[in-house]
Chain A
Amino acid sequence: RYYGYMFGHSRGRRWVRRPLAARAGPELSELQVVIEAADPGCDSYPHLASSEAYHLTVTEPVATLKAKEVWGALRGLETFSQLVHENDYGGFLVNESEVYDFPRFAHRGILLDTSRHYLPLKSILTNLDAMAFNKFNVFHWHIVDDQSFPYQSIYFPELSDKGAYSSNLIYTPTEVRLVIEYARLRGIRVIPEFDTPGHTQSWGKGQKDLLTPCYNGKQPTGSFGPVNPILNTTYDFMTKFFKEISSVFPDKYIHLGGDEVDFSCWKSNPEVEEFMKKQGFGTDYAKLESYYIQKLLDIVSSYKKGQIVWQEVFDHKAQLKPDTVVQVWMENNYAHELGSVTGAGFTTVLAAPWYLDYISYGQDWKKYYKVEPLNFPGSEEQKKLLIGGEACLWGEFVDATNLTPRLWPRASAVGERLWSSKNVTDLQDAYKRLTSHRCRML
């Protein structure tokens, strides 16, 4: 596909013979790609510790791209394709160059939300292409939420039967596999997020008794709240459900959500109230939330999966596993939060300043570019715990008709911030490169 990107697929370039005069000068005939590790990784999945470094030497007659693992070769190929440019006669040029490159942060992600609006497969795949152009390596798939449940589960088909917007607005197992493989070929990890116990309205449609019935005095109101944390059936369900998720999604990590849990429904339910008493939680519903999360973490750990959670899980003092990753998303005073999370010894991923769904007039890419993730109070050791960040495109006002122009090229600013060295901060230079990069992406 890189040959196509550089020289154009359907433009019949191969037959174009350059005018003789333009043939004077050194010619590059080959790009040799060498992957050095014994196991280059071509048949495996990328992971957090994958090596993405590469060494690119462009000199005549043969350029070489060396990388330890195939993931670095992919990054180097992207760079090489960006160095090749066309002259006025339709000839292709590349400057003699030597590039030693590697990412500053290992987790560089994009979040897409396919619950607020369904996104057809094509949108997701096109976005994976755009991610590869920007060296992003994590697709955080916020696949279900309150509004709809498009994930077609094998064990629990009713979830999407009853919870999707409609029967054709779902992701079948085949489609999910397609996304994972398309991503893999671009060195992109797919981390699914099945957000609980809040953000689960759509789960209740296909799974009876999963959600907490809300009460008005002694009467159920007919509406439901978060996942019901006091029933054994809840944990039986989660055990089975996450068994499926663990086998469907090959990445080592699963995002478990845990954000914005509204306690009012739990508070209204008499059985929950009684459970609180029995457990000695008093009226502190954060403890109930933590009780649920802890059991969920145990379940997911038993499947040998790591977990990522939103910051509330940490803030409400649940007992996390030592390798639980905390994602910081609340914009207010996020630097302080990063300090707290890493101070407690947890790995963290930063999303707070990069909610790209919050559009505004003008060149807002600059404010995303100016973010310095390590500007938070903490020791060197703590700063090592910040493994990267994610640009988030929540779906309340986004669907296939406007996803691409809304996300790009603004997300490119985040991509550079996460890959490039700390001192790459010149806005004017970035502007020049961003404008040509945008045209190239088109």
Chain B
Amino acid sequence: AENEPSQGTPCTQLLVFISTPGCDGFPSLDSKEGYKLTVSKGSILLSADAIWGALRGLETFSQLVGRDENGTYYINETEIVDFPRFPHRGLLLDTSRHYLPLRAILQTLDVMAYNKFNVFHWHIVDDPSFPYESSTFPELSRKGAFNAMTHVYTASDVRAVIEYARLRGIRVIPEFDTPGHTLSWGPGAPGLLTPCFVGKEPSGVYGPINPILNSSYEFVTSLFQEVSTVFPDFFLHLGGDEVDFTCWRSNPKIRAFMKEMSFGEDYKKLESLYIQRLLDIISSLGKGYIVWQEVFDNEVKVRPDTIIHVWKENGMEYKEEMANVTRAGYQALLSAPWYLNRISYGQDWREAYKVEPLGFKGVPEQKALVMGGEACMWGEYVDVTNLTPRLW
């Protein structure tokens, strides 16, 4: 710049100092995201313990730079010491109800970075479609995707998402929701889902994963073996929500099993059986897990480091759930008041803003178990044509 600006000396450098960078690693729940930003005459310094803090600081710095009427860029003298209140700040995208092209996911990751989100909860498959191309079970997407050529995520697509996220300090936690929400798995994995019955005859309709067959557990083991290697984060989301017992109840083999196990008519016990075996499988693969609240509500025996994801909102009952989950000693994630797919007229951002995640009855030790929360954008009415203006 040949012309001297009217005030202050021109700053030409932002010095970034990171004590223990970790630039080649992946972000995790324990990542340090604190940073210090000092803008003074003659020097701008951004310092952080880890690269993840530097990224947050860079975002802040970019927000502080303004432009005046003459087109000159300026920044105010500032001193900032910043760090996140909650370590898990996530966004859920649903790519099963509607397929989202790669560019939509990458664009969302950009906007997440602008807002210091650090977890991309990828609800990748569900009842309507199975877009995840599995190398172990290629039939799953071949038969289960909306279109096996155009509406799938290839291995390189998935890698691209994980790396794009990593460069923005965002963890990618995939969710392969079972035993419910699995209709799309059926066509590519015959025998996996429970055949429903009408009287003595199979109705042709299928229900949740069949929890009484060894083949189900073999399948799930192989699939999650693959998922565990493909996705580098320590945590996997295993779902476990909204399991409809009607189909299980209708199936005579399952009813016989229930008798054998003395479960009576309590199908929650059967669900628990499945979930417990699943959790053991995942643990043996060296991963941690997040589950939806039903797993806790239905008294499944889970490991102490399980994270419970609170999502049900009937009035204010989620506050009670947060209290119950943390009182039982489990870590919690809050999504219930943040289902952004539930649109309404006007400035509804205020309702989301007013939520106080720790606004429930509990002792400080309980409150410390709240890891954070996630805004959810379920896909029933969302695709690439309206995702961005609906979410942001």
Question: Which residues of A does B touch, CB under 8 Å?
Answer: 357-363, 397, 401-402, 404-406, 442
Contact = CB atoms under 8 A, between A and B. Distances in A.
Contact of B389 (A358, A362, A402): A402
Interface in B224-277: none
B388 to A, nearest CB: 8
Contacts of A406: 386, 389
B385 A359 contact: no
Task: Give the top 8 A-B pairs by smallest Cβ distance, nearest first.
Answer: A402-B389, A405-B386, A361-B342, A358-B345, A401-B389, A405-B385, A361-B343, A359-B343
B344 A360 contact: yes
Contacts of B390: 402, 405
B346 interface: yes
Contacts of B347: 397
A360 B343 contact: yes
Contacts of B385: 404-405, 442
A362 B381 contact: yes
B341 interface: yes
A360 B344 CA distance: 5
24 contacts: A357-B345, A358-B345, A360-B343, A360-B344, A360-B345, A361-B341, A361-B342, A361-B343, A361-B381, A362-B381, A363-B381, A397-B345, A397-B347, A401-B388, A401-B389, A402-B386, A402-B389, A404-B385, A405-B385, A405-B389, A405-B390, A406-B386, A406-B389, A442-B385
Contacts of A361: 341-344, 381
Given A360-B343, A397-B345, A405-B385, 8 more contacts: A358-B345, A359-B343, A359-B344, A361-B343, A362-B381, A397-B346, A397-B347, A402-B386
Interface residues of B, number: 13
Contacts of B341: 361
Q: Per DSSP, are chain B's interface residues mostly helix, strand or loop, or mixed? A: loop
Contacts, number: 31
A389 B305 CA distance: 59
Contacts of A404: 385
B384 to A, nearest CB: 9
Contacts of B386: 402, 405-406
Contacts of A362: 381
Most A C-beta atoms less than 10 A away, residue of B342, B345, B347, B390: B345
Contacts of A405: 385-386, 389-390
Nearest to A363: B381
A359 B389 contact: no
Interface in B328-344: 341-344
B100 to A, nearest CB: 14
A405 B384 CA distance: 10
A352 to B, nearest CB: 16
Interface in B348-392: 381, 385-386, 388-390
Contacts of A358: 345
A357 B386 CA distance: 15
A359 B340 CA distance: 13
A359 B346 CA distance: 8
A33 to B, nearest CB: 32
Nearest to B387: A405
Contacts of A402: 386, 389-390
A345 B202 CA distance: 65
Contacts of B345: 357-360, 397
A357 to B, nearest CB: 7
A361 B390 CA distance: 11
Nearest to B341: A361
Nearest to B392: A401
Nearest to A401: B389
A88 to B, nearest CB: 12
Contacts of A442: 385
B344 to A, nearest CB: 6
Nearest to A358: B345
Contacts of A357: 345
Contacts of B344: 359-361
A358 B389 CA distance: 16
B151 to A, nearest CB: 13
Give the interface centre of A397, A402, A405, A406 by most chain B CB atoms within 10 Å.
Answer: A405
A102 to B, nearest CB: 32
Interface string B214-225: 000000000000
A411 to B, nearest CB: 14
A3 to B, nearest CB: 25
A93 B343 CA distance: 40
A90 B389 CA distance: 34
